[in-house]
Amino acid sequence: MAEQTARVHVATEVPVGDLGRRLAARRARLGLTRGEVADRADMSVSYLGYLEEHPGATPGTGPLHRLADALETTVSELTGGAVDLPPGFGRAVREPRMTEMASGECRALLGSHGVGRLAVLTVTGPLIVPVNYSVIDGSVVFRTSRGATPSLAAGQEVALEVDRIDDAFSQGWSVLVRGHARAVTDPHDMRWFAELAYSTPWAGGKRDMWVSIEPYTVTGRRITA
């Protein structure tokens, strides 16, 4: 019963500080309860809860290093020091292993993500731009504004790449989607996408054009130590 109660923390407790959000997000990504992380970091569950829920919490270097080890990441990642750095600044491991991922794993990872890099051909040459996307009924959909670079994807063959990089362990994965993009004009489909979309565009503003990518290939690779 205690374990079941602890697992509720992963989904229901909402951290309010930057450090707290990063702690809880990393913990949820690893599928760990507060109790499990507290045990790994040699601290009380109540103290970990305090760090996650209080924006003014300022733990010392000792607890931060133990938490980083417990969450298999770095102090810089937990404290936001890597926010303005490109992913992959960690050094390569001595004997990395790269494997091709099966289609099912690629689609599962694609469906769990929310920001991808869209490659589209423009009159001045190819461009790559980030988009907030969702996977709905097997299609990759995103919202943009007419005339914006992502809107130029409509009617083209495009590529969308998503990835996850773990700098602490110099490993990660990437999934590449290739397919035909089309502008969504059916009002029913647009309402359906708006209801099911994971997020609105981070860039904000009026973005009332939906684009759908019908994948014809979904491939991926994973690098591990």
> How many domains is the chain partitioned into structurally?
2
pTM comes to: 0.69
Host domain of residue 219: 97-224
Asked if residue 184 and residue 103 are part of one domain, the reply reads yes
195 within 8 A of 187, measured Cβ to Cβ: no
Q: Is 86 within a domain?
A: no
Average confidence score pLDDT of the chain: 86
Asked if residue 104 and residue 66 are part of one domain, the reply reads no
Q: What is the CATH number of the domain that holds 57?
A: 1.10.260.40
> Using one digit for the tens of pLDDT, what is the confidence trace for 141-175?
999 999 999 999 999 999 999 998 877 677 889 99
> Using one digit for the tens of pLDDT, what is the confidence trace for 197-216?
888 888 888 899 999 999 99
> Using one digit for the tens of pLDDT, what is the confidence trace for 120-135?
999 999 999 999 999 9
Asked if residue 102 and residue 208 are part of one domain, the reply reads yes
